[in-house]
Amino acid sequence: METDNFSDSSLHNDQLKKYAQDLADVYKSEKAKRKELQVAKEQLLIYADDLKKTILDLKVAHKETQEAYLDTIFRLVLTAEYKDEDTGDHIKRMSLYSVLIAKKLGLSDKEVQNILYTAPMHDVGKVGIPDSILMKKGKLTKEECDIIKTHSTIGAKILSNSKSDIIKTAEQIALTHHEKWNGKGYPQGLSGKKIPLVGRIVCLADTFDALTSKRPYKDPYPTEVACEIIKKEYGEQFDPDVADVFLENIDEALKIKAKVGSTEDVSLSDFTKSERDRLER
Amino acid sequence: MKKIIIVDDDFAIRELVDTTLGSENYNIFQAENGEQAIEIAKTEKPDLIIMDIAMPGIDGFEATRILKSDPETKGSVIIILSGKSEDVERKKGFEVGADDYFTKPFSPLALIKKVEEMIG
């Protein structure tokens, strides 16, 4: 029994009020917290949205940069090629042949893409070769031939000491695309798998397009003759695996050839192999 | 789990305090007078006792004095929860050895906070 000045029921009433008051306080503070959380959540959503937009913008910018980079490479390469040809078709075709071979050899997407970007640069060293030799029609002297051969080391030098993996691959291609499987190529006389695979691939792609294109010193060879030369050079100039893959997929190569520029159709009968081809190849 | 004894002759208040502190947080015992409180305190050695003053038989002051002078039970923290708010009463509570003094009606949030502060 309580003996103070509160009766049980008035104490209980007052106590109930205290509980109600605390409950109201808790409710109010919870509501305020919920509102704060809601505001924070909305703020986060705005940030997330901005982030998404930024990433999309970056992706677009990255793609544009990459396209500009490829375009720049192509135009720079064209300056070296401009003396022999002014359309850049040779570069386009030989790059696509290289990509075809790389794909069929089972290289990764990244490696295939690298080849697409770097194969065009294989002949940049030509900028160091005098026009009188580069554009000479007819037979080259032994000295002139030796000077032309320096384009591989000149190209490698131009592309040397880069931090970029792409340029490193380009350097490898420029240096080794005239090496031969049998070790009789230049500049280092490397043989077999000592020649980087990219060099072996570009060697075949470059040769096939040179054979089937018109040059100042020769008419284009028909595909049959070009294939015959490749077969003859199987295991000599060319890596047998690379040659196999290319000849197996010659139809696809011809599709590329048809799509990029066009060479006049010549029949087997009315062409003669040029002197220079006999010396060079 | 910390042990608490709620001592009050008013069943409604005991239940209210019990629910407020929560059996999921504490191991709670109830006593309806001083004698019962001393008896439970001796066996359970509680961490905290919430003690009403005006009870039949041994009242809260007396029970607190007994518990605080017994070496077996003086370790328990005692909070007096009284309907009397006069300074004289408060002073007496501390004199008999109580650790804190709350008046009824009490704020449940303040009580929860105080208990956590004392034995949390």
What CA–CA distance (Å, rounded) separates A197 from B120? 73
CB contact under 8 A, A2 and B84: no
pLDDT grade, residue A94 (50/70/90)? very high
Q: How is residue A8 written in tokens?
A: 């049980």
CB contact under 8 A, B106 and A3: no
Residue ranges covered by each domain of chain B: 3-103
CB contact under 8 A, B104 and A22: no
CB A155 within 8 A of CB A121: yes
Q: What was the pLDDT predicted at B53?
A: 95
Q: Whole-model pTM?
A: 0.58
**Residue in chain A lying closest to B86 (CA):** A4
CB of B57 within 8 Å of a chain A CB? The answer is no
Which of B13, B104, B107 lies at the smallest CB-CB distance from A22?
Answer: B107
pLDDT grade, residue A84 (50/70/90)? low
Q: For chain A, what is the mean pLDDT?
A: 86
Q: A115-129, A208-222, B11-25 — which is least confidently predicted?
A: A208-222
Q: Is the peptide bond before B108 cis (omega within 30 degrees of 0)?
A: no
Residue ranges covered by each domain of chain A: 1-81, 87-280
CB B47 within 8 A of CB B4: yes
Q: What was the pLDDT predicted at A86?
A: 57
Q: A1-10, B19-28, B46-55 — which is least confidently predicted?
A: A1-10
Which of B9, B83, B107 lies at the smallest CB-CB distance from A11?
Answer: B83
Helix (H, G, I), strand (E, B) or coil at A252: helix
Q: DSSP state, A187?
A: S
CB of B104 within 8 Å of a chain A CB? The answer is yes
Q: What's the fold here for domain A87-280?
A: Hypothetical protein af1432 (1.10.3210)
Q: What's the fold here for domain B3-103?
A: Rossmann fold (3.40.50)
CB contact under 8 A, A15 and B106: yes
Q: Tens digits of per-residue pLDDT, A230-264?
A: 999 999 999 999 999 999 999 999 999 988 875 44
Across the beta sheet with B100-103, what order do the strands follow?
B27-31, B3-7, B48-51, B77-82, B100-103
Q: What was the pLDDT predicted at A264?
A: 43
What CA–CA distance (Å, rounded) separates A230 from A139? 22
Q: Is the pLDDT confidence value at A87 over 80?
A: no
Residue B6's nearest CA partner among A172, B21, B98 is B21
Q: Tens digits of per-residue pLDDT, A182-229?
A: 999 999 999 999 999 999 999 999 999 999 988 766 789 999 999 999
Q: Tens digits of per-residue pLDDT, A11-53?
A: 888 888 889 889 889 989 999 999 999 999 999 999 999 999 9
Which of B9, B16, B109 lies at the smallest CB-CB distance from A22?
Answer: B109
Q: How is residue A117 written in tokens?
A: 């970007």
Q: Tens digits of per-residue pLDDT, B48-89?
A: 999 999 999 999 999 999 999 999 999 999 999 998 888 999
Q: Is A121 left (phi over 0), alpha (psi -120 to 50) or beta?
A: alpha
For residue B37, give Cα distances in angstroms to A146, A169, B32, B116.
113, 89, 8, 21
- The better pLDDT of the pair A108, A137 is held by A108
Q: What was the pLDDT predicted at A76?
A: 79
How far separated are the first and last CA of chain A, in Å rounded? Answer: 121
CB A147 within 8 A of CB A131: no
CB A137 within 8 A of CB A217: yes
